[in-house]
Structures are given as structure tokens and as C-alpha cells.
Structure 1
Amino acid sequence: MNLLPMILSMFLILLHRADAQSQHHPPFHSPTPAPAPAPSHVPVSQSIAPHSMIPAFSPGFQEQQHRRGSHNKVLISVAVASAAVGAVLLTLLCFWICHCKRSSKSSKKNQNLHISVEKGIMGMKTVGMKGCAPIIDYKQIEKSTNQFDESNILGEGGFGCVYKARFDDNLVVAVKKLHCQTQNAEREFENEVELLSKIQHPNIIPLLGCSIDGDTRFIVYQLMQNGSLEAQLHGPTRGSALTWNMRMKIALDTARGLEYLHEHCHPPVIHRDMKSSNILLDANFNAKLSDFGLAITDGSQSKKNIKLSGTLGYVAPEYLLDGKLTDKSDVYAFGVVLLELLLGRKPVEKLAPAQCQSIVTWAMPALTDRSKLRNIVDPVIKDTMDVKHLYQVAAVAVLCVQPEPSYRPLITDVLHSLVPLVPIHLGGTLRSSSVSVSD
């Protein structure tokens, strides 16, 4: 803001007004009076008046007094004008300082946002914004996946595949490719981008951007080097990389992510598709929730006119039978995941070509019987944990998968139950990891 010309202009205007005022009242110049005739009689009071009183009534004194008055008026006008200019100058200076501070804060904020975006999408060329999510050039998506080569497929979902992509600056990310020929697929894409662009939490997958090409949509995420929990538990390694403590850490991370959705998002968010394949693990096995296409907000009440969605084995009974959806539906699904971690079994297993059995139905009798519990624990972790901790985790799982929603705990209560079972270096409060196999 350039204030100098404005201030000088105002100052000159005020001085001009003061000068005009002084010219409007020029100093008094009276003509020389004619000599008065000598009086024949002088009053006694005048004859005895002191000499000092005479100049007060003389014409010369009056002229001098009038000149002093006019001069004082000029000085007062100049003083008033100077004060006015000073006040204006001070006001403008204050406005200028405030403007500079605001501009500095705004510039700093924009700079920080720019830096944050640059860090998040380093090496990716953006062509616009979709809400708060950067839109990445499709040609870069295609090039980074080597034209969506099959060798880069990380996993498959209901509407498409997830690819490993390598951008410039050696940035490696995961790209979900969605075929949005249907309205449901398009809605899930819009829903996921909108939600993840507003959510930031250590246990929720970060959204880096999205892309659009015809009927195909792309969502770009942070790459999770250890894939999904489902792949770790039920893939070729059969959970061999997951120790008891690591499994408890994954359960704790997952509970923290759900608690953020249920308790700290406004309005609250129900994930609605909580399962082991949507729990991703980074290089250090930190768990992050993903796939928010089916998530809904404000889940404190029963939802109507919502299409029944979810994965068999994880869907809560009340939602499956009556369409009632609350945050307790996510708690039920979390309980199934906890059983997967504990038992190493899939949520639903085939007994015969036309017959399936859920992990809840199969495990419930043994979960409530301590003499049988240790016999159904995943062999990979059997006898590697404090048996008291085993009983506690089993009790939490049993509460989470209760058929009646009101009997299930809040995810916050689950979180508080798990924290003491996880060692400090893995994010819990357990100070010792002693192993006991005795009752």
C-alpha cells in the first residue's frame, strides 16, 4: 500500500485551507485620525489617570492587538491542520500495519498449504482441484502404472484394481482404478474423495489425489508396503510375520482409527465396510483404515433408504436383518477382525459347497470357555502371549460380536481395554511383555 502521495495531498489541502482562512481576515489598518480640537475642559478622572492606562485606549494599541489576534488565528489554523494531518497519518499507519500483518499471515498460510500440497503430491502434475483433493493428470497415472500393467496390481476390489505406481522423483504410490459405469460406483468415488480429503489421522489412509478419464476414476493413496491385514493373515505367509504383540498393535491402531471416525468427526462417520482387507499396513506394520466408498455421516440414528452393503461375515445382524445402521455396526465388524487376529481364520469358511460357517458361530463356544480357548488360537502365536492377556482379548471380542447392539461396547471402551495389552514401544502402555502359559 503506497500511503505517501495520499498523505502529502491531504497535508497540502489542509495548509491551503488554513492560508485561505488567514487571507479572508487581513490585518486591520485604520487611516490616520485627524487631530481632535483641544477640549476646553478636562474631566478630573481623566486628568488624574495614570500614564500606564492611556495606551490601552489608544488607536495604535488596538491595531497591534487586532494584528496579534489575526496572527493567533493563523497559528491555530495551522496547528489544527497539523493535528488533523497527524491523526490521519496515524490512522492510515495503523491500517497499513494491520494490512501488512494480515497479508503476512495469509501469505504464510498459503505458503504452508502450498508446501504441504507439494510434499503430498511431489512428482505428480496436478491439473485442478476436486474439493480439497488435487486432480492429477491422467497421462501421468497411465505412465506411472506402465499402462496399468498386470505386474503392478496390488489387489482387486468390487469396482476395479489397485495398482502400484511410480511417479517422477521416484515417488511410489497406490492407485485405485474404478470403473464407474454405474451410479453406485460414481457415488462411492465421490463419497470417498470427499471424506478422505477432510480427514487426517495417523490410522486412516492419506489421500494424495484423484484423476478422471471418461467413465474411469482413479484415487491415489500413500503406498502401504505390507499390504492388507487380510493378505498377511490369509495369504501365502499365513500370518507368520505377525507376532502376538504386532497383532495387538494392529488391533489398537484400528480401534484408534474407528474412534476418530465415531467420536471426533463432526458429524460422526460410520465406515460401513470394516474388514481385514480394508486395514492396510505400512513398512512398520502401522495399521490404517481404507476404502471409504460406503461410509456415511451422522450415524447416531437408524438409517433408512440406504442400500444394504458390506461384506459377508462382517455385517452386523441388525443391519443385515432390519437395515438398522449405527456406530455399533462398525464395532461388530471390528470384533470379527479381532477374532481373525486371534484365531487366524477367515470370517466365513466353507464347510460344504452350499454351506458356510462364520467365525463368530464357530468360535463362540470356545471363546467363553477358558479350557478350550487356547486350543483354537492361531498356531503361529499359540503359547507366545500372557494367558491373562489372551483371556482379556477374547472377552473384548465376545462383547463386540454380541447379537444385540446395546450389549456391545463403544469403540472408545474397546480402545481403553486394548491399550494396556500393547507394549509401550508399539503405542500402548504395557511395560513388560512377559510370557506365561500357565493358568
Structure 2
Amino acid sequence: MGNCLSASTPPTQSNAPISVEEGVKVFTVAELKKATNDFGNQMEIGESLGYINPKTLSPAKNGVGMAVAVKKIYLANEQAFQDWLVDVEFLRHNSHPSLVKLIGYGYDRDMLFIVSEYFPNGSLGSYIDRDSRPKSLSWETRLKISIGAAQCLAFLHSRKQAGLYRRYLTASKILLDSDFNARVSYFGKPKVSLDELVHATQFANEAPRYQYPPPEYILSGNNLLLHPYIF
């Protein structure tokens, strides 16, 4: 059973297929409202905590079943749809132990949704911010997080055929599960493909955007050392 998302026309709820394909479900808005208590379980801006049956992926009562994160994206324009489509298609066709797992997605006339794993320990960024961090991380835990993120980074670099590469890797994009294993969130449209990255020099003027740009970046623009150096 195939789910076909048009790359040029934003979807409407009237033509939304309802199916489960390769473990990824297309949710209706009604299902997402039921799973999240009408989007009342707010975690962050635009993101709600929901509960679903792990076997059927159908909505479950609040606090019962498997916890998931439901991200809402306002369909402001065509670009918002294209960015959402890149996220969904990449996560549907790529899997790695340290990459966020896509549970499903959904759409309405003016809203887009991404349903993914829920991470009870939040993001690495919350532990780096000294003013708001819940607790300090041991060096053993920090090393485990670093290794997990690096493994996912190597995987993303290897996806040359997908033509996808994310230039901006921040601590807020590294999510932590209950055992503090790292999961990289691949949300956001990539700015440049890997082929462009290897040969690019036109991005050298963007170095001030990075707090700690590598010397090679200053000299020649984007390169494969950018991600690990910044991390």
C-alpha cells in the first residue's frame, strides 16, 4: 500500500490516505487531537506529548500506551510544505539507532504534523545551559552521548544518494532517551547537498554564523570537517 505525497502541492485533509506503511502511519487530525488531549500536553512551542497504542498506532488514553512527540507546523506558504516534505521523506526512508524515528505524519488545510519518538530527558542543549539545566551529566554519560551523535553524523554523511546534509548541528538537535542515549533530530530543510558541500566555496562568508568555525571552513568554505568540529 503506497502513500504518495506530491512535491508541488500542499495536501489537504480531504485527500489524506489513512494507512500504515513500513511502520509509518498517516494520522488524521482527529486522531492526533485524541492522542494529545486536543494538543493540550504542551512540551515546547509547537510540540505536544501524545499517547498511542504501540501495536496499532491508534490513539490511546492520556498517560496510557507509548508516548510520542507531535510537532505542529503552520502551513504558511509553499516553502513550509517543502521543508516538512523533506523531513518526512528523509525519515521515512532512513533508519539509524541514533537518528530520531518517525512514527507518522499528518496534515490539514493549514497545519502539518510530524509524529516521532518522545524523549523524556529532552535535548542535550538543556543540560548545557547552566541557568536551566536539570542536572549535570557525568563524563561517562557525556562520552556516550558524543559517540552516539558521532555515529549518526557519520551515517548522515554517507547518505550521498539522498542529497541531504544538515549544516547546522546544535545541542538542541541532539535528543536524549531515558538512558541518555543520543538521537539526532533531522528536522529542518538541508541547506546544501553533500556534492555541493565537498566542492563549495561560496559559503565562506557565512562563517560568522558559527560560534566555533573550523580553520578549514574559513579557508575554503563548507567541508566535511564542519559538523564534527562544531559539535
Which residue is equivalent to 2:125? 230
1:142 to 33, 43, 53: 33
Long gaps (5+) in structure 1: 1-109, 111-125, 335-439
Which residue is equivalent to 2:47? 162
1:298 and 2:194 correspond: yes
1:261 and 2:150 correspond: no
2:172 to 272, 277, 281: 277
* Contact 1:196–1:292 (8 Å) recurs in 2: no
- Output the CA distance in 2 between the equivalents of 1:219 and 1:244: 33
Q: Which letter maps to 2:50?
A: A
Query: Measured at CA, do residues 129 and 200 of structure 1 come closer, stay the same or move farther in structure 2, by a change above 3 Å?
Result: same
Which residue is equivalent to 1:332? 229
Long gaps (5+) in structure 2: 2-16, 53-59
Q: Which letter maps to 2:33?
A: E
**1:212-255 CA distances to partner (integer Å, 9 max, x unpaired)?**
01121000001111010011221656363410111111111111
Q: Which letter maps to 1:165?
A: G
SS for the counterpart of 2:93 is: coil
The structure with higher relative contact order (CA 8 Å, sep 6+) is 2
* Contact 1:136–1:209 (8 Å) recurs in 2: yes
1:172 and 2:64 correspond: no
Report deviation, 1:186.
Answer: 1.7
Which residue is equivalent to 2:101? 206
* Contact 1:273–1:294 (8 Å) recurs in 2: no
- Output the CA distance in 2 between the equivalents of 1:211 and 1:234: 33
* Contact 1:138–1:213 (8 Å) recurs in 2: yes
Moved more, 263-272 or 227-236: 263-272
Report deviation, 1:155.
Answer: 2.2
**1:167-222 CA distances to partner (integer Å, 9 max, x unpaired)?**
32622100111112033322210111111111111110000110001121000001
**1:89-131 CA distances to partner (integer Å, 9 max, x unpaired)?**
xxxxxxxxxxxxxxxxxxxxx9xxxxxxxxxxxxxxx714799
* Contact 1:211–1:218 (8 Å) recurs in 2: yes
SS for the counterpart of 1:197 is: helix
Query: Measured at CA, do residues 177 and 203 of structure 1 come closer, stay the same or move farther in structure 2, by a change above 3 Å?
Result: same
Tell me the TM-score normalized by structure 1. 0.41
- Output the CA distance in 1 between the equivalents of 2:81 and 2:67: 26
Which residue is equivalent to 1:186? 81
Q: More strand per residue: 1 or 2?
A: 2
* Contact 2:160–2:194 (8 Å) recurs in 1: no
Report deviation, 1:144.
Answer: 1.7
* Contact 2:49–2:68 (8 Å) recurs in 1: yes
- Output the CA distance in 2 between the equivalents of 1:216 and 1:198: 23
2:18 to 124, 127, 137: 127
Tell me the TM-score normalized by structure 2. 0.73
Query: Measured at CA, do residues 303 and 192 of structure 1 come closer, stay the same or move farther in structure 2, by a change above 3 Å?
Result: farther
Alignment of 1:410-429 (within 5 A): none
Q: Which letter maps to 1:153?
A: Q
1:153 and 2:42 correspond: yes
* Contact 1:155–1:163 (8 Å) recurs in 2: yes
- Output the CA distance in 2 between the equivalents of 1:146 and 1:222: 17
Q: More helix per residue: 1 or 2?
A: 1
Report deviation, 1:270.
Answer: 1.8
Alignment of 1:109-128 (within 5 A): 127-128=18-19
* Contact 1:228–1:279 (8 Å) recurs in 2: yes
Percent of paired sites with the same residue:
26
* Contact 1:315–1:329 (8 Å) recurs in 2: no
Query: Measured at CA, do residues 267 and 181 of structure 1 come closer, stay the same or move farther in structure 2, by a change above 3 Å?
Result: closer
Alignment of 1:17-416 (within 5 A): 127-128=18-19, 133-149=24-40, 152-156=41-45, 161-167=46-52, 168=60, 170-234=65-129, 238=133, 240-263=135-158, 266-267=161-162, 269-295=164-190, 296-299=192-195, 300-302=197-199, 312-313=209-210, 316=213, 324-334=221-231
Query: Measured at CA, do residues 311 and 289 of structure 1 come closer, stay the same or move farther in structure 2, by a change above 3 Å?
Result: farther
Q: Which letter maps to 1:301?
A: V
